[in-house]
Amino acid sequence: DAKTTQPPSMDCAEGRAANLPCNHSTISGNEYVYWYRQIHSQGPQYIIHGLKNNETNEMASLIITEDRKSSTLILPHATLRDTAVYYCIVRVAGEDTDKLIFGTGTRLQVFP
């Protein structure tokens, strides 16, 4: 199964871009990369996902390397409310079932 690795923690100044890396070196061609965040033990919140191309939405941008072995989540202007644990997830598809395998997560601390 594909798995992900992330740095355990990162800091970012408010207003600056936060760049969160994720390694998924064993990812298969049909597996998507998802990013979620969790604020203080609330339910994980969906941020963005992608397969091959870079993606952008109102929350963030996702940059996936050409070989798909790593990706970076970019929060363009971090705010204090972005302080959370960010999970990079590779969605593994089986024969008839599907499951999520969470990475270790990166604790992002945004400071004033």
Partner 1 sequence: DAGITQSPRYKITETGRQVTLMCHQTWSHSYMFWYRQDLGHGLRLIYYSAAADITDKGEVPDGYVVSRSKTENFPLTLESATRSQTSVYFCASSDDRSGNTIYFGEGSWLTVV
Interaction between residue 83 and partner 1 (CB under 8 A): no
- Among all chains, which residue has been given the structure tokens 């004033």? 112
Interaction between residue 46 and partner 1 (CB under 8 A): yes
Q: Could you say which of 2, 30, 52, 84 contacts partner 1 (CB under 8 A)?
A: 30
Query: Is residue 41 a contact partner of residue 107, using CB atoms and an 8 Å limit?
Result: no
Interaction between residue 49 and partner 1 (CB under 8 A): yes
Number of residues that bind partner 1 (CB under 8 A): 27
Nearer to partner 1, 14 or 91 (CB): 91
Interaction between residue 63 and partner 1 (CB under 8 A): no
Smallest separation, CB 106 to partner 1 (Å):
11
Interaction between residue 39 and partner 1 (CB under 8 A): no
Query: Is residue 18 a contact partner of residue 69, using CB atoms and an 8 Å limit?
Result: no
- With residue 62 as reference, give the H or E element that holds it: strand 61-64
- Please report, as ranges, the residues that interact with partner 1 according to CB under 8 A: 30-32, 34, 36, 41-46, 49, 51, 85, 87, 91, 93, 96-105
